[in-house]
Amino acid sequence: MLSHELKLGKNDPPPFLKSGKDENLSLKGLREESLQMLPDMSEEDETPRLNLDLDLQDIGQLGYDVTNDPECTNYDHPDYGCQGDCISTSSCPGGKYISGLCPSYGISIKCCFTADSDTECATYDHSTAGDVGSCVSTSQCPGNFYISNLCPTKPAGVKCCFTKPSGTCSTSGGSRKDLACAIKNHARVYLLDNNGYLNSKGSNDGASAYDNIVDTCNGGAARRSSYTCSSGTAPGGTTYLSTSVLQYILDLLDDGYNLQVNCLAGACHSSNSWHYQGTAVDFQISSGDPYSTWMSYCSSHGARENLGPGDAGHSTHTHCAFSS
C-alpha cells in the first residue's frame, strides 16, 4: 500500500484516476493534470429547499444535527452503542435519551439513542430483550438478533436490532477508526485534500475529504466547512463519519475500483444535506469511470440517496448517502 508521502501535496492539483479495475495499478506514476470542475460542483441542489436563517439552538430544537457533541456521539450506551444524536426530546422516538451529554445546546436538547429509528422499532417491547430496539444495518447487529418490518422508512438492509450494535464507538477502537485508516492507506484512492478545488471559499479549511479521513483514522471527529455557497451555508463544527459510508468506500476500493473522493462531511451543500451528518460521500467522475457500478454498490449497501449523471446537479460526480 502507498504511504501518505506518495500522495500529492496541498498545492498540487489532484489527478484524474484511471478508470475501471486494474490489479496492478497504484497512484504512483499517474500523470498530473489540472482538475477542471464546475463551481460548487459538490452541492446537492436537486430539490428546492428552504434556507432558514436559524441559530444553533433553533436548529437543534427542530431535531437537526448541528454540532452533535462528542460527549453524546462517543457515549457508550449499554444497549445502543455509540448511536447518540443531539436532538429535541420531542423528536426522540420512544423517549430514549440521556441528559447532560449535549452541552452546546439548550435544556430541551438531549442525547437521543434512537434518533434515526422508526417509532415502531424504538417502542417495540421484545419478549426477551425488552424495549431496546434500534434501526441499524443488519451487518452491525450482533448475532443477527433483529426483527424485520419495524423500520418501514429505512432501506431494506436496515432492521430493528435488539442487541448492542457493533463497530459504532469511535473511542473504543471500533470499526470507524479502522475503516478510515484502511481508506487513508489504500493504493487506489485519491482523497481531495483542499476544498478550494470545489469552492474558493473552502480553501484549506481543514474539512477536506483527506482531512476528514485522517482525523477519523486518528480517532477524532470530522470537521465541517463553514462558508456560504449557492445551495446554502455549511454549518461548521464537527461530526463523526458513519461506518456505513466508510464501508461503502472501502468495499469499492478493495474490489479494484479507483476513486477520487471529493468530499465527506466538508464542503458546502444544501441546508439539510446528509454530508453534514457524516453519512454521505461524493466521487468525482472522469472520462470512462464506471460510475454506474459505484451507484449499484451504493444501492446494495442500503443507501437512502443515490445520485449521479441524469440527476440535477450531479453530472460530474456521484453522491451516496446513508441514514446512519
Interhelix angle for 175-184 vs 243-254, to 10°?
40
Averaged pLDDT for residues 44-48: 40
Percent of the chain at pLDDT exceeding 90: 44
Cell of 263: 468530499
**221/312 same-domain check:** yes
Q: Are residues 142 and 183 in the same domain?
A: no
Residue 270 zone, left/alpha/beta (φ > 0; ψ -120 to 50; rest): beta
Q: Is residue 160 part of a domain?
A: yes
Residues 192 and 301 in one domain: yes
Let me know whether 140 and 209 are in one domain.
no
Tell me: do 193 and 287 sit in the same domain: yes
Q: In the Cβ-directed half-sphere of 239, how many Cα atoms lie within 13 Å?
A: 28
In which band, very low, low, confident or very high, does the pLDDT at 75 lie, cut at 50, 70 and 90? confident
**What burial class does residue 286 get, using C-beta atoms within 10 Å of its C-beta: 0-12 exposed, 13-18 middle, 19+ buried?**
middle
Question: What does the pLDDT look like over 259-287, one tens digit per residue?
Answer: 999 999 999 999 899 999 999 999 999 99
CATH for 254: 3.30.1380
Same domain? For 246 and 133 the reply is no
Give the residue among 259, 235, 300, 288 at the shortest CA–CA distance from 51.
235
pLDDT tens-digit readout, 92-109: 988 899 998 888 888 889
- Report helix, strand or coil for 76: coil
Same domain for 78 and 203, yes or no, is no
Domain count, the chain: 2
Q: What is the pLDDT of residue 169?
A: 53
The residue range of the domain holding 208 is 173-321
Residue 46 lies in a domain: no
d(CA 318, CA 324): 19
At 8-39, the pLDDT tens digits run 344 444 443 433 444 333 333 332 333 333 33
pLDDT at 168: 53
178 and 312 housed in the same domain = yes
Q: Which burial class, exposed, middle or buried, applies to 33 when counting CB atoms under 10 A from its CB (0-12, 13-18, 19+)?
A: exposed
The verdict on 286 and 183 lying in the same domain is: yes
